[in-house]
Chains A and B, each alone.
Chain A
Amino acid sequence: MTQELTEVSNPGETTGSSATLWLGAVILIGLVILGWLSFVVTEADIELEDTVRIMYVHVPVAIMGYAMFTICGIGSAMVLWKGSQWWDHVAGAAGEIGVVFGSLTLATGMIWGRPTWGTYWEWGDVRLVTALMLVLLYVGYLSLRSTTGVTGEPSRAAAVVGLLSVCMIPVVSRSVEWWDDRTLHQEATVTKLDPDIDGLMLFTLVFGIVIFMLIGAWLLIHRFRVAHLETELELYGVALAVEQRIAETTDVEAALSVAGNDRKDES
């Protein structure tokens, strides 16, 4: 992954490479297969009926949200430890993608909640509220990144927030067990050794998780490169301005020197 993040075949044109092109093709084919498995092959659930088909996107995006926030936390820790610009780009990219996946988790969960629980949102539900808090924490992290720090230098204040916010992930994940009387949400089904789920449904769910992991990797590679480009463009602008200033100063000094010589000649 480290090599893939920094290597492209056509650096002059896009942030893509032959590897990301192939990855994108695999993702598209995988999504078609996931749709076929979800809507044609698998049966409706006895309790959840056909709404179980929402699970095949809801659970993968939730897992990818956790994964991206964790990567953001690791990147933030590396920024604080080494002051690395590379890790700062990784953290920023993962944080942004995590917010996208986290928001999709909330949205698909709300859509699923209406036919199963009879409500889109319940403020007293610990899983829903903690999941919202997690997303908002990383929205704050992204805001802090954009308002603090110097061009070309990672924002340590944002890194602290990115690192501390990771602590919220286990709270969200375990909230259904810690406060089981204060949530409508079911307990985890795939993390148990003996999942309470039909074999074909489990296969479809795991397949969906794999495909969304590939989507997350593809997005991370491209977003990382965009972050690098943005920083380099800003630094280039600063370097140009400094060069212009030096050129202006040199011109003025030359003009003053000529004027001084003229005065000497006249005297």
Chain B
Amino acid sequence: MSHVGYIVAAWALTLGVLALYSVTILRRGRKLSSEVPPARRRWMSTDNADHV
């Protein structure tokens, strides 16, 4: 296979950045979920779907 370095770099960058971004979002969500009182999590149920 030719140009292996470029191919690996493109794939690793894409998957690495997306994985890092996903983990960041999940961690932020987990932290925020623990800080917001249950009464204020109305956006997490379909009861509040009329906001759309």
Contact = CB atoms under 8 A, between A and B. Distances in A.
A15 B30 CA distance: 7
A127 B13 CA distance: 21
Contacts of B43: 6, 225, 228-229, 232
Nearest to A78: B52
A115 interface: yes
A103 B21 CA distance: 13
Q: How large is the interface on B (under 10, 10 to 19, 20 to 34, 35 or more residues)?
A: 35 or more
B14 to A, nearest CB: 5
Contacts of A16: 26, 29
B7 A15 contact: no
Interface residues of A, number: 49
Contacts of A50: 1-4, 7
A84 B38 CA distance: 23
Given A31-B15, A61-B14, A236-B37, A15 B26 contact: yes
Given A7-B45, A11-B44, A219 B33 contact: no
B52 A229 contact: no
A222 interface: yes
Nearest to B20: A100
B14 A104 contact: yes
A235 interface: yes
Given A13-B33, A51-B6, A54-B6, A232 B40 contact: yes
B3 A8 contact: no
Contacts of B51: 6, 84-86
Interface of A: 2-3, 6-8, 11-16, 31, 35, 44, 49-51, 53-54, 57-58, 61, 84-87, 100, 103-104, 107-108, 111-112, 114-115, 215, 218-219, 222-223, 225-226, 228-230, 232-233, 235-236
21 contacts: A6-B43, A7-B46, A8-B44, A11-B41, A11-B45, A12-B38, A16-B29, A44-B2, A54-B11, A58-B10, A86-B52, A100-B18, A100-B21, A104-B13, A104-B14, A111-B6, A215-B18, A222-B26, A223-B25, A232-B36, A235-B40
Interface of B: 1-4, 6-7, 9-11, 13-15, 17-18, 21-22, 25-26, 28-30, 32-38, 40-41, 43-46, 48-49, 51-52
